[in-house]
Amino acid sequence: MQFVKRLIVIPSLMFALMLILTASGSSREALDAADAFTSVGKYMTDVPYVTVGVHNVGKIGLTITNQGSFGTGFIDRGGNVNDPLTGFRAPSCTYPFPGNQQYLFAGAFWIGAVVGRDTLVSTGAEGWIFIRKMWRDTARIHKIYPDQPPPGTLDLDSAAVYFPDDLTPEGELKYYEYEFVLDNILPSQLYYVSVTAFDYGAPGSGLMSLESSPTKNMVAEYAQNQTSKVESEGLSVIVYPNPYRIDGNYRSAGGGFFEGRGQETLPDDRVRAVHFTNLPHKCTIRIFTIDGDLVREIDHDYPPDSPQSMHDIRDIVTRNTQSPVSGIYYYSVESEYGSQIGKMVLIM
């Protein structure tokens, strides 16, 4: 359904914003008016990444913003609308494009919307209060268990005995479980992920926003199959780059950053490396020449489904600390789940 085709923002005499939306196609049928103050839905439109919050009164769709303030009466002497949370000037462009806001987390708003003959004016209850509502948008961070109530206790041992429904299969509290899906990333690249906490500072006293260090809880991981999937489905081991070319320039961005990270002081011949993926969490990797001579033996041992448990990267220096020569090599991967044999080519 194509819902939003045109969005015009017009300030009114009541410091409100009127959003005029033109709909095409069939409008969504109204839901029970009793749910009007609690139910906020989500529509995807024909414009990429547009998120539309729907207050279920009549046939209305409103595009609203994250941490924004739509004409709440917080007006400075220059006539600007200021965000009551931060004290900074609130964004005043069309949402979400070309603005950089997507959906409402917390904010105060007074909005009038007109679609044909249907009109809605919405405010926070009992005057200008913060409205806190977040609906699931699986393209962005969201709760894995959105309907889960707050836990009966924060102690995991007690929760396991008295509130087992509060826990995930891994023994964590469902209420605090969030998920963020990263799209369009390369499985061959190492990514670093961290979660930081920040505040808004104190604009009135000149105190800037503060944020915790992103290196405190950083996790390095590849976007590859978890070991549970590898082991249950018997996936084939993959080696890359294969063939390995000495002129591949793998230390650079153009070469994929396949080798040499954190080893900038070492010469090229000491950082040349190949990657193994789709590995069981515990296995032994052996590399042989075509004549059957053992070149390298690698013990791969990680906790199941832990970061990088499905992946291993090793330099191609031989067990005798020599550089390898061009040729075809065999590798074997042995674990309790079976054995695999494959080929790799080095062009030196």
Say whether pLDDT at 44 is over 60. no
Alpha-carbon span 98 to 46, nearest angstrom: 15
Residue 139's pLDDT band (cuts 50, 70, 90): low
Least confident of 155-169, 171-185, 249-263: 249-263
Percent of the chain with pLDDT over 70: 60
Instruction: Identify the bridge partners of residue 282 per DSSP, sorted by sequence position.
Output: 301
Alpha-carbon span 272 to 247, nearest angstrom: 11
Alpha-carbon span 52 to 177, nearest angstrom: 25
Instruction: Identify the bridge partners of residue 237 per DSSP, sorted by sequence position.
Output: none
Write the pLDDT tens digit of every residue in 90-132: 543 333 333 333 333 333 333 333 333 332 333 333 333 333 3
Alpha-carbon span 211 to 224, nearest angstrom: 30
DSSP state of 228: H
Phi, psi of 128 (to 5 degrees): -85, 95
Average pLDDT for 252-270: 79
Domain ranges (residues) in the chain = 1-136, 233-347
Helix ranges, 118-168 (H): 156-162
Say whether pLDDT at 4 is over 70. no
Q: Is 68 exposed, middle or buried (0-12, 13-18, 19+ CB in 10 A)?
A: buried
Name the nearest CA neighbour of 16 among 134, 101, 119, 106: 119
Average pLDDT for 251-263: 79
What is residue 102's predicted lDDT score, i.e. its pLDDT? Answer: 35
Residue 308 near residue 220, CB atoms below 8 Å? yes
Residue 207's pLDDT band (cuts 50, 70, 90): confident
The residue ranking higher by pLDDT, 158 or 120, is: 158
What is residue 89's predicted lDDT score, i.e. its pLDDT? Answer: 56
Residue 225 near residue 235, CB atoms below 8 Å? yes
The residue ranking higher by pLDDT, 210 or 7, is: 210
Say whether pLDDT at 29 is over 70. no
Neighbours of 286 (CB within 10 A): 15
Say whether pLDDT at 135 is over 80. no
Q: What element of type H or E holds 329?
A: strand 327-335
Average pLDDT for 81-95: 48
CATH architecture of 233-347: Sandwich (2.60)
Phi, psi of 34 (to 5 degrees): -65, -20
Q: How far is CA 210 from CA 8, 9, 90, 202, in A?
A: 35, 33, 20, 10
Average pLDDT for 253-271: 79
Measured in whole angstroms, the distance separating CA 128 from the mean position of its chain's CA atoms is: 33
Phi, psi of 176 (to 5 degrees): -105, 15
Place of tokens 């709909």: 23
Residue by residue, DSSP assigns 247-296 as TS-TTSTTTTS-S-TT-TTS-GGGT-EEEEES--SEEEEEEEETT--EEE
Average pLDDT for 301-315: 92
Write the pLDDT tens digit of every residue in 223-242: 899 999 999 999 999 999 99
Phi, psi of 118 (to 5 degrees): -90, 135
What is residue 62's predicted lDDT score, i.e. its pLDDT? Answer: 39
What is residue 103's predicted lDDT score, i.e. its pLDDT? Answer: 35
What is residue 180's predicted lDDT score, i.e. its pLDDT? Answer: 83
Percent of the chain with pLDDT over 90: 31
Say whether pLDDT at 210 is over 70. yes
pLDDT, mean over the chain:
68
Alpha-carbon span 346 to 329, nearest angstrom: 8
What is residue 183's predicted lDDT score, i.e. its pLDDT? Answer: 79
